[in-house]
Amino acid sequence: MFESDVQDIPQHALTGELPAEPRVTALLNQAHARWAEVTAGEVADYIPALAEADPALFGLSLTEVDGTVHRVGDTAAAFTIQSISKAFVLALVCEAIGHEEVHRIVGVNNTGLPFNSVIALELNDGSPMNPMVNAGAIATTALMPGTSAQEKWWTLHEGLSRFAGRSLELDERVLRSESASNHRNQGIADLLTSYDRLYADPAEMVDVYTRQCSLLVTADDLATMGATLADGGINPVTGERVVTPEVCRDTLSVLAACGMYELSGEWLFEIGLPAKSGVSGGIVAIAPGKGALGAFSPPLDRAGNSVRGQRACAALSRALGLNLFASRPHPAQEADSDA
């Protein structure tokens, strides 16, 4: 899916540090210029407010773990975070209740089915399977600290804002639009309740989940949020610790396996980074110890992932040496083999 687009991109060193700052900026500009004119994909239209997005918008942002930010294009354009919120709510819940409880209650395995599948729940005895599909995300949101839906929302909002390094605003118009058309999520929440997998009122948890998806972010925000996970839980822009290194590890492992839905295996094979997408056109891709890419472009593929964003992430993963699975021989062994 991606290899034909990036195979001619020069590959940087496979391990170690990012290239020097001018080189990173040049590669970001190159990726943006190369795919800005791509017209493939369709803007999400099943949520009426999202159907009005400008398909020409395209921004790429990269935040390094030392706080250096590189950006090109529409990186200040605001859009709703949508499913990308799932990754950071998972981190907040892991921080609050621990690794074992999240594994037991929600699960960490890919369903192999679409993000809003009801069949996946029925086939797995009501288990949400993982926090990146809607069933798992609603169950995860219900585990946020707080004795009421309002308290859970306040805690969640404050936590996501700490990841971004600023107070995130709610898009009331998108919230109303999604609330009027989220019947499937309401059904999923009721089904979770019937299996005793949702530890709060289903209607209230769907409302909180819809609110978290309706928070406004930019490509710059996504890069900062992802870089916080790349930097062991410390926001590299504000210097504030948001979560522990252990929580970052757990969150990134789930993203690697499930973050790109039923195409997660293909994404990992070609790009090799934990990542999460949203149907408003955002993608965050994270290179532990190095930084994170935030991409925004509304046209989506059949799985709900940004077309331009995927291609740019693929090229930059290769050019910047971000792929987690890439390695090179030890110098001594390489010399021996060349002798």
| Mean pLDDT value across residues 4-27 | 68
User: Comparing 295 with 7, which gets the higher pLDDT?
Assistant: 295
Residue 2 has pLDDT above 70, yes or no: no
Q: Are residues 103 and 123 in the same domain?
A: yes
What is the three-class DSSP state of 274?
coil
Cβ neighbourhood burial of 62 (10 Å; 0-12, 13-18, 19+): buried
Lowest mean pLDDT among 61-75, 180-194, 277-291: 180-194
What is the three-class DSSP state of 163?
helix
Q: How far apart are CA 267 and CA 272, in angstroms?
A: 7
Q: How much is the pTM?
A: 0.90
Of 61, 152, 206, 261, the active-site residue reads: 261
Q: Are residues 168 and 251 in the same domain?
A: no
Of 89, 152, 206, 209, the active-site residue reads: 209
Of 86, 152, 276, 290, the active-site residue reads: 86
| Mean pLDDT value across residues 9-33 | 79
| Residue 233 lies inside a defined structural domain of this protein | yes
Annotated catalytic, 261?
Answer: yes
Q: How many other CB atoms are found less than 10 A from the CB of residue 122?
A: 11
Q: Are residues 198 and 145 in the same domain?
A: yes
Annotated catalytic, 148?
Answer: no
The domain in which residue 10 lies consists of 3-82+216-325
| Residue 339 lies inside a defined structural domain of this protein | no
Q: How far apart are CA 105 and CA 103, in angstroms?
A: 6
| Token digits of residue 295 | 């991409």
Q: Tokens 């690697």 label which residue? A: 256
State pLDDT tens for residues 184-215.
889 888 888 887 888 899 999 999 999 999 99
CATH number, domain of 172, equals 3.40.710.10
Numbered residues of the known binding site for substrate: 83, 134, 178, 185, 209, 261, 279
Instruction: Give pLDDT, residue 247.
Output: 96
